[in-house]
Structure 1
């Protein structure tokens, strides 16, 4: 085993790491002190390793590592060519250990940028010993205590060459809990100031994912080392400061299924089907014994295999070229692929299966990240509406509350606790709650809102208690703040027994969506009640709902028919009618299959279709009058 540093002479006389530093300083007088300090730690490790220690050497371009055992002390070969003089004798125990057989955490440490580093943590010595004997990594499931502060991190890297910790623990060294744009730049600058680099970058993994910190390795001319593409163990460059925040959203930033169920190439297809049904999976990756991806089985590929009578093994239904992604890839670049195919298989640089990211995962994350903002906005809106009736001269003067209202502006969420603390305001509001408790709740939610003021890559679910508190406050506000769907004041709902409400009438329905129709016929009593309480009319009190589609430049399509079906399903009126000015064959087919009423090609010039439409409306009136005033039916 050979170390470089061709300008450095024999180190046999060095009794301490300081002696090695002095030799390096004399050999490289133009190098920066920090770089020389980095080199002295590496050379000191090289010359002081004990005989019998295990050595792991990545073999670039081959996809394997070699594991050996030191059999002798440090030797300086003055007769050798420059760059080949510092040596240690090694007996190579296993020269072809596949990198894919090594756990990702250990593989990251082995692949550190330093020439010489020590593998000390996460039971590394036992795992390397087992790899040397069997070629299998037993792995590690425990936790590792993080450094106490950035200085301790730097010292660990100096002593060992690398230091592994989670992204959460890394940013926590600088006192942060979430990865906002400012925090990312701040931590990047802090690492760079200490001559440290991190791989993968802490924005490329989940918050509790592991990263490896090492010293910035340099060549002997002072230039940063650049490995050829594809020769390292999966590391990616440190993010440039000031990079667009959207680039922080990586595949690895999202929680995705990591305990992936896989199948083997020669296993029966029935086994894949059983696992997919039991686990409610839409796909199963096929991997070899080291978990290297070889393809994927989906319901679609199974159907093709069975229809084509290709056989009853996994190989017959295998898609050998599934869509994959690596954790460091930008999320927004791959969203279209997830939408089209439903999933991406997440792999590392060696094509090992790390997990699956599905469209369902994206939907879950959307809810987690958007829900807090919706709840906070709703709470602020209700607080505003409930306190709007307070006279300006009774508002407190603190926090600029009175000044804000006097200028015609809305109060901020941070100002509402001041309003609720004021006894005169509280008495006028006459809410049936404890004053101190509600002030506490609003104050808590205000602080939560401040924490979420800047959108970042870590979902707000890191504080579930804050989300629960916001929901509870909103529930209390809803009880005292009714939220009707008011009709316009000019809505013409007076007149005879039956009246037409036109231009987008709305029905109150069972689903959260408010359906619209163009003509709604309802009784005068229901119209009067709706106007009185300023609520949409009840669907079961409506006689006839007509959806009208008049299109010239575009076609009436199946989507319009589906909307009409939703109106029918939710309104539950006695009759519904779909009217269009075109033939709309797809609409006719859709509505006929569901036995819904429709009229097509209804235009003033077509007296027949106009007459048919009038007949449908007359029939609705006839049925209504037959129930309420039979003697008036003609």
Structure 2
């Protein structure tokens, strides 16, 4: 998509690869010099890309603050002139730990939180938002890399988020951050365990010489075992000699599931901005349980472990 846009001198704002699937983007003109430079760069690398061996990965897209739904989900605010009762009531009604203090959509002047209220009451500062707010709110741009804001969220417990027009559009809390990382971590661990089982099964019955059958002829890296192959290469190896595994299962269904896992793996290991769906997580869990059962009691285990005949 990016190459085709650049070919016609176009781009999107914000970058189409950074947001959610349902986010609106605008088509913009690239500067002619930038478009020409990209065309030259693409031409120089085309032959290299065509000759490179196919792997299992897709281009990495950086995870940004705006990839967290809460970052652009709106923000509840009060003004400095509002009463403390109003701020506390809003926080209790919505189960919030803090509110933005604003005088306009782009004018964030502070934060009022249970902590700032407690400090103000100890010092008997007054009963208005202005008297109880923290005048130094944490504020970041939506396009900023997510990992860059972790220290701020850890320190403050939150950051407010503004878009490219400086409008405050959301808030990311430590709970939002923990939930996002949990969403990323579970599929990552499930895929890793599925890969481990497949590699274990391959190492059990295939020789190192067998593994060379699924790598390019000019492959110049050392192959020590199944860990040296990509998941796609393992899939082709298993597909070509499935009976060797001794798994009591239909070959086509196993290969179908391996292919699905490979596609999910691309999103998981390269942190696609759009999270792995609940359906895909359930699929990972089911395949993991199934593969564990298959590998725990393969047919003719004694025969397959006694020797590793070379593929013909």
TM-score by length of 1: 0.36
Tell me how far apart the structure 1 counterparts of residues 211 and 165 of structure 2 sit (CA, whole Å): 64
- Out of 413, 418, 437, the position equivalent to 2:231 is 413
Q: Structure 1 stretches of 5 or more lacking a match? A: 1-173, 175-182, 219-223, 225-236, 401-406, 483-634
Q: Does 1:354 align with 2:169?
A: yes
Q: Does 1:251 align with 2:65?
A: yes
Name 1:474's counterpart in structure 2: 288
Aligned CA distance change for structure 1 residues 445 and 328 (closer, same or farther; 3 Å): closer
Aligned CA distance change for structure 1 residues 385 and 291 (closer, same or farther; 3 Å): same
**Any idea what SS the aligned residue of 1:329 has?**
coil
Aligned CA distance change for structure 1 residues 331 and 437 (closer, same or farther; 3 Å): closer
Q: Does 1:211 align with 2:25?
A: yes
Aligned CA distance change for structure 1 residues 381 and 293 (closer, same or farther; 3 Å): same
CA contact (8 A) 2:84 2:127 kept: yes
- Out of 257, 270, 282, the position equivalent to 1:441 is 257
Higher helix residue share: 2
- Out of 215, 239, 244, the position equivalent to 1:425 is 244
Name 1:321's counterpart in structure 2: 136
Q: How does 1:306-317 map to 2 (within 5 A)?
A: 306-317=121-132
Name 2:187's counterpart in structure 1: 372
The superposition leaves residues 528-583 of structure 1 with CA deviations (integer Å, 9 ceiling, x where unpaired) of xxxxxxxxxxxxxxxxxxxxxxxxxxxxxxxxxxxxxxxxxxxxxxxxxxxxxxxx
Shift of 1:398: 6.9
**Any idea what SS the aligned residue of 1:288 has?**
strand
CA contact (8 A) 1:251 1:328 kept: yes
Q: Does 1:297 align with 2:112?
A: yes
**Any idea what SS the aligned residue of 1:213 has?**
strand
Tell me how far apart the structure 1 counterparts of residues 235 and 24 of structure 2 sit (CA, whole Å): 42
Tell me how far apart the structure 2 counterparts of residues 207 and 443 of structure 1 sit (CA, whole Å): 23
Q: Does 1:194 align with 2:8?
A: yes
The superposition leaves residues 592-619 of structure 1 with CA deviations (integer Å, 9 ceiling, x where unpaired) of xxxxxxxxxxxxxxxxxxxxxxxxxxxx
CA contact (8 A) 2:143 2:163 kept: no
The superposition leaves residues 398-440 of structure 1 with CA deviations (integer Å, 9 ceiling, x where unpaired) of 747xxxxxx75216533346536747435xx254x55543343
Shift of 1:209: 2.8
CA contact (8 A) 2:19 2:273 kept: no
Name 1:383's counterpart in structure 2: 198
Aligned CA distance change for structure 1 residues 437 and 360 (closer, same or farther; 3 Å): same
Q: Structure 2 stretches of 5 or more lacking a match? A: 42-58, 216-222, 297-312
Tell me how far apart the structure 2 counterparts of residues 424 and 197 of structure 1 sit (CA, whole Å): 50
The superposition leaves residues 12-39 of structure 1 with CA deviations (integer Å, 9 ceiling, x where unpaired) of xxxxxxxxxxxxxxxxxxxxxxxxxxxx
Shift of 1:362: 2.5
Shift of 1:448: 3.3
Aligned CA distance change for structure 1 residues 350 and 437 (closer, same or farther; 3 Å): closer
CA contact (8 A) 2:161 2:172 kept: yes
Tell me how far apart the structure 2 counterparts of residues 467 and 367 of structure 1 sit (CA, whole Å): 12
Aligned CA distance change for structure 1 residues 381 and 275 (closer, same or farther; 3 Å): same
The alignment yields a C-alpha RMSD, in angstroms, of 4.0
Aligned CA distance change for structure 1 residues 447 and 247 (closer, same or farther; 3 Å): closer
Aligned CA distance change for structure 1 residues 201 and 417 (closer, same or farther; 3 Å): closer
Q: Does 1:274 align with 2:93?
A: no
Q: Number of aligned pairs?
A: 265
Q: Does 1:343 align with 2:163?
A: no
**Any idea what SS the aligned residue of 2:92 has?**
helix
Larger Rg: 1
The superposition leaves residues 183-232 of structure 1 with CA deviations (integer Å, 9 ceiling, x where unpaired) of 5xx36xx34x43445444446644433333344689xxxxx9xxxxxxxx
TM-score by length of 2: 0.67
Higher strand residue share: 1
Aligned CA distance change for structure 1 residues 417 and 262 (closer, same or farther; 3 Å): same
Higher relative contact order (CA 8 A, sep 6+): 2
Aligned CA distance change for structure 1 residues 246 and 440 (closer, same or farther; 3 Å): closer
Shift of 1:350: 5.6
